Structure 1
Amino acid sequence: MQLEDQPLAGHIPAQDRLVRQLLDAGRFTRADAAFDELLAGGANFVDARWVRSTVLVQRALVAWRLGRIPLALELITEGWTELDTQPPSGGSAAHTVSMLGFLLEGIGRRGPAMDLMALAVQIARDSGDQPALAHCLLREGLSRVFRAASQPDQAAHQFAAACELCEEAQSLAKPGPVKRAALAVMARALSGTDELETAERIAQETLTLGRDAADNYAMAIANWALADIRRTQGVMTEARTFASRALEGAETIHESILMMRFSRELAEICRNLGDSVGEAAALRRAVTAAVSAVDILKEGLGQALEQRRVATQAQRMAMAAREAALRDPLTGLANRLGLERMAPVLLERTDAAGRIPWLVLLDVDWFKEVNDFAGHTAGDVVLQEVANLLRRECRAGDLLCRWAGDEFVVLLVDAAEYSREAGPIVAERIRSAVNTHDWRLVLGRLEKKPTVSIGVAAGPNDLDQLFAAADIALYKAKRAGRNRVETDGEQTGSG
C-alpha cells in the first residue's frame, strides 16, 4: 500500500526507504532483489537505532505489495506483538498503529481498524509530531471514503468526516506525497457530498502536481474522484475514461486495495454504458480474482492475528505468574525464591567486576508485641513501611528481599563506590531510618516502637556463606540489645 510507504523521515532505515521507492517507481524486479538483500540478515532483525514495530510493519506492507503473503503475515504479527510490549507513544508508534488499522480496513475487519486509526491520530496529537499526525489523518480519511462508497446509509457522515481529516492532513503536510494524497482523497470526499465544482478543481490540481512528481498514487485517486464527478454529472463516457486511468495507476504500483475498489466502480460504469463485452467482462474476472485473493488473505491474516493474541496473552500470563512466584505479595520485594534465583547472577557479575558483595540481614525488633497489641493488620503495615524504607535507603540495583516473617535481606552488588565499608554504612542508614520513622499513624502510642537489628557480611561470592555470616552477626545484634548493626565483631547504633 503506497499510502503506508510514503516517506516517514527518521522512522525507517535508508535501505527500507530504497525498497519502497523502487516499488513506487514500478521497478518491481529491482525492488524484489533489494528486499531480499534487506532481509538477508533475518526478516525480523531490526537495528536498535530504529523503532522495531514501525520497521516490521513497513516491511510487512512491502512484502504484501511484492506478493509475499506468508512473509507479510509473519512480519505484521511480529510488529503488532512488539507494539504490545508497552503503551504506544510518540510519532513512530502512531505510524505503526495507523498502518495496522489501515491494513485491517483493507481486509474488511472494520471495527478494530477504525479503533486503531482513531487511536493513532490521538497518539500523534499527543506526541506533537505533525508529519506523523498528517499520515494518520490521511489514512483514516481514506478509510472513511472507502466506507462511504460501500455503505450508502453511512455515506454522508463518512464523507464529511473524511473531508475534515484530509483538510487537516494537507494543511499539516509539507509539499510532497502526503499533501498530494490528502488533496486527492479530499476531492473524492467532496464529490461524495455533491460539492462537485470544488472537488473537480482540487482533483485537477492534484493531477498536475502528481504528473510533475511522477506520483502514480495521488494521480490514481484524483482520477477516481474525477470519475465519480463525471458519473454524478451523467457524463458516463468521461467517467469510464477517468475510472480506467485510476485503475491503470493502481495497477502500476501494485496497490491491491485501490485496484479492487477502482475495478468494481469501472465495471459499474461500463454496465451503465452497456459495455458488457471486452473491458467490462475482463474487469469482472479481475474483480472475482481479487475478491478470492482477499478472502484467502482475510482468513490467513485473521488466523494469524488471533494466534498472536492468544500467544501474547498466554505469554503475559506466564510472565506474570513467574514474576508473582518470585515476589512477596505483601511488600512487593523479592521473596526467598526470588533471592535464590537472582542472587547467583548478581554475585557473578559483581565478582567479574572485581567488586565486593555485601549481604545485609535485618530483623524487626519487638514485632511480636506489634501483632499482639496492635493487631496483625498493623503488623502487615509495619512490614510494608520497612520495605518502603529499604527502597528509599538502597540503590535501584540492589536486591531487596523479604526472607521470612519479619526478616529482610539486602544484597549490595554491582556498584563501583561500594567498598569494604559499604555494608555497615548502608546498614546503619537503614537502622537509623527505621529508628527515626514516625510510627504513630500506624501504631498509635505503642510502648515499644519497631526498630531493626542488623547483621552484615562481606564476600565471598556465595549466597549460603554470606547468609551464614550475616546470620551470626544478626544474632550478636539481638543479644547486644537490638536496634544495632553488627559485623566482624564491630557494632553501631543503640537501643
Structure 2
Amino acid sequence: MVGHLPAQDRHVRLLLDSGRFAEANAAFDELLAAGANHVDEQWIRPTVLVHRASVAWRLERIPLALELIAEGWTDLDVDRPEGAAAAHTISMLGYLLDTIGHRGPALKLMALSVQIARESGDQAALAHCLSREGNARVFRAVTRPDDSGAAQFALARSLFDESQALSKPGQVKRSALAGFARALAGVGDTAAAEKAALQALALGRAADDWYTASVANWVLAVVRRDQGRLEEARTFASRALDGAETIRDTMLMMQFSLDLAAICEELSDPVGESAALRRTVAAGSTAVDVLQEGLGQALEQRRVAVQAQRMAVAAQEAALRDPLTGLTNRLGLERRAPMLLESTAAAGRVPWLLLLDVDWFKDVNDLAGHTAGDVVLQEVAQLLRRECRADDLLCRWAGDEFVVLLVDASEESRDAGPIVAERIRAAVHRHDWQLVLGWTTRPPTVSIGVAAGPANLEHLFAAADIALYRAKRAGRNRWEIDGDRPTADRSTAG
C-alpha cells in the first residue's frame, strides 16, 4: 500500500515503523496543514485517506482516524466495491476493528478485501490485503486457542506465503515473512519457523523496521519455548516486547507481555513474571486510555459541532425574520412561499394572499413619533397572529406593509381570503390604540388587497397589489379582492 501513497505520507509511515514518534507527529502535522481530507488528484483518494486514518490511530488521534476512515469509506461505491482503492479501504477498516477487539467483523472485512484485490488484478494491493488478513488470523488463533486455532494458523500460512510471492522487497514482504514464521510455528513446523524468523529479523533490523523485528523476536521466543530453551525464550520475548513498546502497538504489547510472563513463570522467575504482567496491565491501560481519550475528543467535537449547527440554524432563522415584529421578512417569504403554495394547491385548495397596508401610518410617525410607529407595527403583527392560523405564513414585507399567505384554510377555499381579510380589518379597527397613541393622531386602520389563483407568488402578489390600490382609492379601512368576484361586504367600518 505504501507505494500507492504520496511521498510525504510514505515518509510519515517510515518514521512510525522506526519508532520515531515525535518526528512522525511533526511530519503528520505538516502533511495535514493543507487539510486532513485534501488529496491531490493524481492519487487515489480513498487509499490515501485510509492510510492517514491508520497513521492517526497509531498516533493516538482517534477522532481524526475515525473521520478519515469514514470519509474514505464514503468515497467508495459500497454497494459494489471494486478496485485496489476499495480493497485497501475495506482492509484498513478491518484492521481498525481488529485493533479495538472486534475480530469477527474484522476478519470478514479483511477476507472481502482480499477478494476485491484479487478481482482488481493489482498484485501490490493483493499482497498487502493478504498480509493483513494473515496477521488477523494469527492473533485470532493465539488469543482464542480453541479447536479452530490450528485451522487459523494454516490459513494464515497460505495467506502469508502468497503475499510474499506477490510483493516486492520492502515492508510488506518483510512483515509477511515474519507473520509466515509465526504461522509455521503455530502449525508445529518449528524448524522452518526458526529459519524464516531469523531471516525476517535480519531484514527488519537492516531496514530499521521495528514491527517486523518485533514479530520475528516473538516467533523466536515461541520456538525456543517449544524447544525447552526457556532462558533464550525469555530473552527473545523481552526483545519482542521492547520493540512493540517502541512502536506503541498495543495489540503486540499485550500479547508479547503475556507470553513473557508465562515464560518467566515456567522459569520460576517471579520478579520477571511480575514485571511482565505490569507491562501487560500498562499496555491494557494505554489501550483503554487511548480509546477513552478518543471518545472524549469525539464527544467534545460532536458537542462543538452540534453547538455550531444550532448557531448556524439560529443565524439562518434570524436572517429570515423581521427583528421588529418577529414575523417572517421578505427574504423568508420568498424562500418559503413556493413550497407552501405548491402543497396548498396539491391538497386541492385555492392559494390566497393578503397584502396589508397600515392607513395613515405617516401621520403616526410625524405626530406621535417613530417609537410609537414601531409599537403600532408590533401591535398589528400581534393582531395578525391572533386572527390567522398557526400554519399561515405572516410576513412584514416592507415598512408598514404586511403579507399573509393562507395555508390549508379551514374555511371554504373560495371564501377563505375575504373571510380572513375581514377578520383582520375588523380587529385592527376595533383595537384600542389610545394607550399607544393617546389623542395625537387618528387611530390606524388597514387596507387589504386579496388575491387567489395559481400557485405563483409573483402573480399572487401583483394581483393583491392591484386590489390594495383599489382599497386605498375607495377610502381605506377596507379590503378589495382581485377581479369581479361576489363577496361579503368589504368594510363594516362606520
Instruction: Sort the TM-score into its range (normalised by shorter chain).
Output: 0.5 to 0.7
What residue identity is the alignment partner of 1:245?
A: R
Contact 1:91–1:132 at 8 Å: present in 2 too? Answer: yes
Q: Point out where structure 1 has 5 or more consecutive residues left out of the alignment.
A: 1-6, 309-336, 341-463, 465-495
Q: Point out where structure 2 has 5 or more consecutive residues left out of the alignment.
A: 303-338, 343-457, 459-494
User: Which residue of structure 1 aligns with residue 114 of structure 2?
Assistant: 121
User: What displacement does 1:97 show?
Assistant: 0.9
Contact 1:94–1:124 at 8 Å: present in 2 too? Answer: yes
What residue identity is the alignment partner of 2:258?
A: R
Contact 2:50–2:88 at 8 Å: present in 1 too? Answer: no
The Cα offsets for residues 143-179 of structure 1, whole Å up to 9 and x where unpaired, read as 1110111111121110110111111111111122211
User: Which residue of structure 1 aligns with residue 283 of structure 2?
Assistant: 290
1:23-34 alignment, distance < 5 Å:
23-34=16-27
1:41-190 alignment, distance < 5 Å:
41-83=34-76, 87-153=80-146, 154-190=148-184
Given candidates 207, 212, 216, the residue that maps to 2:201 is: 207
Q: CA 1:73/1:210 → structure 2, altered by over 3 Å: closer, same or farther?
A: same
Aligned residues: 304
For 1:203 and 1:85, locate their aligned partners in 2 and report how far apart those are by CA, in whole Å. 38
What residue identity is the alignment partner of 2:266?
A: N
What residue identity is the alignment partner of 1:254?
A: R
User: What displacement does 1:297 show?
Assistant: 5.7
For 2:220 and 2:213, locate their aligned partners in 1 and report how far apart those are by CA, in whole Å. 10
For 1:59 and 1:161, locate their aligned partners in 2 and report how far apart those are by CA, in whole Å. 29
Contact 1:224–1:243 at 8 Å: present in 2 too? Answer: yes
What residue identity is the alignment partner of 2:225?
A: R
The Cα offsets for residues 337-368 of structure 1, whole Å up to 9 and x where unpaired, read as 9xx9xxxxxxxxxxxxxxxxxxxxxxxxxxxx
Q: CA 1:157/1:302 → structure 2, altered by over 3 Å: closer, same or farther?
A: farther
User: What displacement does 1:296 show?
Assistant: 5.6
User: What displacement does 1:214 show?
Assistant: 2.5
Does residue 22 of structure 1 match 2:15? yes
The percentage of counterpart residues that share the same residue type is 60
User: What displacement does 1:31 show?
Assistant: 1.5
For 1:25 and 1:249, locate their aligned partners in 2 and report how far apart those are by CA, in whole Å. 10
For 2:136 and 2:72, locate their aligned partners in 1 and report how far apart those are by CA, in whole Å. 21
Contact 2:237–2:260 at 8 Å: present in 1 too? Answer: yes
Contact 2:137–2:152 at 8 Å: present in 1 too? Answer: yes
Contact 1:73–1:301 at 8 Å: present in 2 too? Answer: no
Does residue 265 of structure 1 match 2:259? yes
Contact 2:61–2:294 at 8 Å: present in 1 too? Answer: no
User: Which residue of structure 2 aligns with residue 276 of structure 1?
Assistant: 270
Higher Cα Rg: structure 1 or 2? 2
For 1:46 and 1:160, locate their aligned partners in 2 and report how far apart those are by CA, in whole Å. 39
User: Which residue of structure 1 aligns with residue 360 of structure 2?
Assistant: none
For 1:92 and 1:181, locate their aligned partners in 2 and report how far apart those are by CA, in whole Å. 21
Contact 1:108–1:298 at 8 Å: present in 2 too? Answer: no
User: What displacement does 1:134 show?
Assistant: 0.6
For 2:236 and 2:210, locate their aligned partners in 1 and report how far apart those are by CA, in whole Å. 14
User: What displacement does 1:182 show?
Assistant: 1.2
For 1:283 and 1:252, locate their aligned partners in 2 and report how far apart those are by CA, in whole Å. 16
What residue identity is the alignment partner of 2:69?
A: I
